[in-house]
Amino acid sequence: MKNLIGLVLVTLCLCACNNNQISKNEREVYLFSYFKGNGDGLHLAYSEDGLKWEALFDDSVLLKPEIGKDKLMRDPSIVQDESGTFHMVWTTGWWDQGIGYASSQDLIHWSEQQNIPVMGKFEGTRNSWAPELFYDRKEKTFYIFWASTIPGAFPELPTSESEKGLNHRQYYITTKDFKTFSETRLFFEPGFSVIDGAILEKDDLYYLFVKNENSAPAEKNIRVTSHTKPYGFPTEVSEPITGDYWAEGPAPLLVGDYVYVYFDKYTQGKYGAVRSKDMQHWEDVSVSISFPDGIRHGTAFRVSESVLVKLKNRFSK
């Protein structure tokens, strides 16, 4: 009897410790968080190969926005910590000084939505766009970074009429618990208007993908730089890794030997992708991928297969 009780306790302990984490004994699959329209709420898609992405829950909204001036949920970025908890940040409105935050154990039931006033101390800040989460497992620290325009903070750049006065830079905060946060600091200043940062860790290097947002002349392409830490990135960036089209919202993902970078071809109303093995030479594989119709600026992340199974079972019920 004692042996049986011990076996049960060990089994329960193992189940608790593996709560939604990627187990070495489990196959990895991929999820993609995104929005549709002007910011209707959280959608999820899944893939087993990084090429074919299928919508979950019949492409319905999993979480509707409740905070912000415009009550939008754009650019949802999700990461999972060691305990299995999923954390999400998003753009709450076009001209807000804060961003949205919520957490979940299963990607179905979410905590109360909170506003993080990331630019509240910077008078005149026009926006807080496309916040992105990165979890540094070595330091057990979350990095949240986003794009803001503070009028007069940097030398003015030529802009199109529609983007007059917008001159973005990347700012960031850190947190370990989403209760206390560091002061807001400048994250990335490459000398051009920059938005949509995203970090991928690979082979002891951190790669930062960004969009060059300059509008006169128009750039609207994805660049990359790298560093040994998830901050303090060199401001010299690569040539565009995307092609002769406008691209935004880079979402990097390691799939086998390749790093895929998915992006929103927002003027064409569809998604594209490039991939690389060496982070130097990039192959456009847009014709090889498929995404749900109407998908907008999202984030790709890995989960254990059991997470996907639970999501599918939830939908079937």
At residue 226, the pLDDT reads 98
Q: The dihedral of CA 285, 290, 294, 300: what is its sign?
A: negative
Q: HSE (CB half, 13 Å, CA atoms) of 122? A: 21
- Banded model confidence at residue 314, pLDDT cuts 50, 70, 90: confident
Q: Residue 279 in contact with residue 224, Cβ under 8 Å? A: yes
pLDDT at 119 over 80: yes
Q: CB 266: neighbour CB atoms within 10 A?
A: 16
Average pLDDT of the segment spanning 184-197: 98
CATH of the domain at 127: 2.115.10.20
Average pLDDT of the segment spanning 191-202: 98
Average pLDDT of the segment spanning 255-264: 98
Q: Which of helix, strand or coil describes residue 254?
A: strand
At residue 13, the pLDDT reads 39
pLDDT at 8 over 60: no
Mean pLDDT of the chain: 93
pLDDT at 266 over 80: yes
At residue 23, the pLDDT reads 56
Reading phi first (left if > 0) and then psi (alpha if -120 to 50, else beta), residue 316 is in alpha
CA distance 4 to 135: 39
Q: Residue 125 in contact with residue 146, Cβ under 8 Å? A: no
pLDDT at 3 over 60: no
**Total count of domains within the chain:** 1
Residue-range definition of the domain harbouring residue 42: 2-46+54-316
Q: Which of helix, strand or coil describes residue 87?
A: strand
